[in-house]
Amino acid sequence: MGQTKPDVQCRARIMQMTEAEPDEAALQEAGRILQEGGLVAFPTETVYGLGGNALDPEASRKIYAAKGRPSDNPLIVHIASLDALEQITEEIPAAAMQLAAKYWPGPLTMIFRKSAAVPAETTGGLDSVAVRFPSNRIASMLIRYAGGYVSAPSANTSGRPSPTTAAHVIEDLGDAVDCIIDGGPVDIGLESTIVDFTVEPPVILRPGYINQEMMTEAIGTVEMDPGIQSETEVVRPKAPGMKYRHYAPKAELTIVSGTPENAAAKIAELAHDETAAGRKVGIICSDESAGMYPEGIVWSLGARSEETQIAAHLYGILRECDSAGVDVIYSEAFRTPQLGDAIMNRLVKAAGHRIIDADEKG
């Protein structure tokens, strides 16, 4: 069994493997831990999840306690077969089945009326349940060995950026879980798209890798919750978890939007003023503009043309900003074609909706 001692002190047992070569015996053991009511953190294609048996109310309570998460914020139930979906839901609209056929397994979560099999503790008291069928092989094997239903929020302490490596999980939850499966860095780096199918037409509650256009193409009209549409205004979102300040670095983050030239000039000016005032400045930018900032600690998310890289690096860099102990952070905006909605949704929340428009003359 692939097991190593982590560098930092941590109570959890660490199991190392790769998605190409999952360790069957270790995953069976981890599945047993889940069946017995324990907590196991594991990789998915989006972010690392903090898993517990979704049908066990006590396991759900443990998840909330480990994360320090309010218990009215429902969990996503992860499955590894379509048959499992029928056991935990009441009505599945035809359009949802079409989306499932196209994008499951994958980074898409759908919300349905829940069946009596799902305890209220798992759904934060709601009569609906969020369901996801992840494509990561380690995740799907673990779910099967656990009995088929694993509730898993992102494996971060509540309020911190979601973990994209096992090291992030160890940092946040190393002493709070029984086992952490280290399957290397995740692929996507942003949480799944969430679509509510308890309403007609369906509504996107959280943008993700599967975007509005892709879903509209597959099933017709899919709306966007007003709570996630506006970048500058705070509108109460429908997914309970979306109302909390999320993905937040410790320093005050401000997004500077506008043309690349104007944004870079404005950030350089702000970084100069803050540095002169004795504050430590962090700058989040792209490869194209990284050379334009003489002051501040500069982190590039990657080339603007490689939007999957930008998404994959965002949370790790927000964590690095924390470790570097910067006082203020300025970030460029990233309105890229496929992932722009998802990237900006996370960035805007991390910034607490603080956005400066560098194109505005004033």
Residues at the contact surface with Mg ion, assessed by CB under 5 A: 154
Q: Quick one: what does residue 27 bind among ligand TXA, Mg ion, none, with the CB cut-off 5 to 8 Å set by partner type?
A: none
Beta carbon nearer to ligand TXA, 75 or 285: 75
Closest contact distance (angstroms) between CB of 241 and Mg ion is 6
Contact flags string 122-151 toward ligand TXA, x per CB under 6 A: -x--x-xxx-x-------------------
* Rg of the chain in Å (alpha carbons): 20
Assigned token pair, 200:
């007609």
Between the CA of residue 360 and those of 56, 259, 264, what are the distances in Å? 54, 11, 14
3-state secondary structure of 76: strand
Q: Positive or negative CA dihedral for 267, 268, 274, 275?
A: positive
225 exposure class (CB count in 10 Å sphere: 0-12, 13-18, 19+): buried
Q: Quick one: what does residue 130 bind among ligand TXA, Mg ion, none, with the CB cut-off 5 to 8 Å set by partner type?
A: ligand TXA
Closest contact distance (angstroms) between CB of 102 and Mg ion is 25
Round to whole Å and give the CA distance between 47 and 307: 17
Binding ligand TXA by CB under 6 A: which of 194, 248, 256, 344? Answer: 194
Question: Tokens 């470790």 label which residue?
Answer: 323
Beta carbon nearer to Mg ion, 47 or 268: 47
Beta carbon nearer to Mg ion, 135 or 157: 157
Q: How far is CA 131 from the centre of its chain?
A: 15
Q: Quick one: what does residue 46 bind among ligand TXA, Mg ion, none, with the CB cut-off 5 to 8 Å set by partner type?
A: ligand TXA
**Omega before 201 within 30 of 0, i.e. cis:** yes
Which of positions 47-106 make contact with ligand TXA (CB under 6 A)? 47, 49, 73-76
Contact flags string 254-293 toward ligand TXA, x per CB under 6 A: ----------------------------------------
Q: Quick one: what does residue 56 bind among ligand TXA, Mg ion, none, with the CB cut-off 5 to 8 Å set by partner type?
A: none
Q: Quick one: what does residue 109 bind among Mg ion, ligand TXA, none, with the CB cut-off 5 to 8 Å set by partner type?
A: ligand TXA
Residue 153 binds ligand TXA (CB under 6 A): yes
8 Å CB contact between 255 and 350: no
Closest contact distance (angstroms) between CB of 150 and ligand TXA is 9
Count CA atoms within 13 Å of residue 318 on its CB side. Answer: 31
CB atoms within 10 A of CB 19: 17
Assigned token pair, 138:
């380690």
Nearest 5 degrees, angle CA 328-CA 192-CA 160? 30
8 Å CB contact between 347 and 220: no
Beta carbon nearer to Mg ion, 304 or 349: 349
- Number of residues binding to ligand TXA, judged by CB under 6 A: 27
Q: How far is CA 120 from the centre of its chain?
A: 23
CB atoms within 10 A of CB 28: 16
Beta carbon nearer to ligand TXA, 160 or 304: 160
3-state secondary structure of 171: helix
Residue 191 binds ligand TXA (CB under 6 A): yes
Closest contact distance (angstroms) between CB of 264 and ligand TXA is 32
Which of positions 229-248 make contact with ligand TXA (CB under 6 A)? 239-242
Closest contact distance (angstroms) between CB of 155 and ligand TXA is 7
Closest contact distance (angstroms) between CB of 142 and Mg ion is 19
Maximum CA pair distance of the chain? 64
Closest contact distance (angstroms) between CB of 72 and ligand TXA is 9
Closest contact distance (angstroms) between CB of 49 and ligand TXA is 3
Q: Select from 266, 290, 52, 41 the least CA-distant residue to 171.
A: 41
- Applying CB under 6 A, which residues contact ligand TXA? 44, 46-47, 49, 73-76, 109, 111, 123, 126, 128-130, 132, 152-154, 191-192, 194, 205, 239-242
